[in-house]
Amino acid sequence: RKEVEQDPGPFNVPEGATVAFNCTYSNSASQSFFWYRQDCRKEPKLLMSVYSSGNEDGRITAQLNRASQYISLLIRDSKLSDSATYLCVVNGGGSNYKLTFGKGTLLTVNP
C-alpha cells in the first residue's frame, strides 16, 4: 500500500452537491492527520486537522478511522469557491515533523 493514497479524481460536481474525499494511509503508527487545500498555482494551506472524534467546521466534516487507516473529508452544499485540489496529509509516526502528502484530488464545482 502507498504511504498515503487518495481518490485520483478529478471530481466535477454542480453547486450545492455533497462531495466526499477518501484517503488511506499505510503507517499504523501515524498520529496526526490533516487535510490541506491547494488552489491552482498556489501554495497548500491547512484546511483542517483530523481527530479521532471527528471534527466539523461549517459545511466541512472530517473523519478518522484508525482501525481501517482511513480518513475522509465531506463538503456539503458545495460552492464555486470550493474548487481546488484537496491533499490528504499524514505524519510519519514516531516523528512530529515529517509529513507525507497524498497526490491530491482535484474538485471542480460547476454553476
Residues in contact with other proteins by the rule CB under 8 A: 31-32, 34, 41-46, 49, 87, 91, 96-99, 101-104
Beta-carbon neighbour count of residue 48 at 10 Å? Answer: 17
| Residues whose CB is less than 8 angstroms from the CB of residue 104 and which lie 6 or more positions away in sequence, other chains included | 6, 9, 38, 85, 86, 87
Nearer to other proteins, 24 or 91 (CB): 91
Alpha-carbon dihedral 84, 52, 32, 9, rounded to 10 degrees: -30
The number of helix segments (H) and strand segments (E) in the chain equals 0, 11
CB of 44 to other proteins, least distance (A): 5
Nearer to other proteins, 14 or 28 (CB): 28
Nearer to other proteins, 39 or 77 (CB): 39
CB of 22 to other proteins, least distance (A): 16
Q: What is the DSSP letter of 81?
A: G
CB of 11 to other proteins, least distance (A): 17
CB of 26 to other proteins, least distance (A): 15
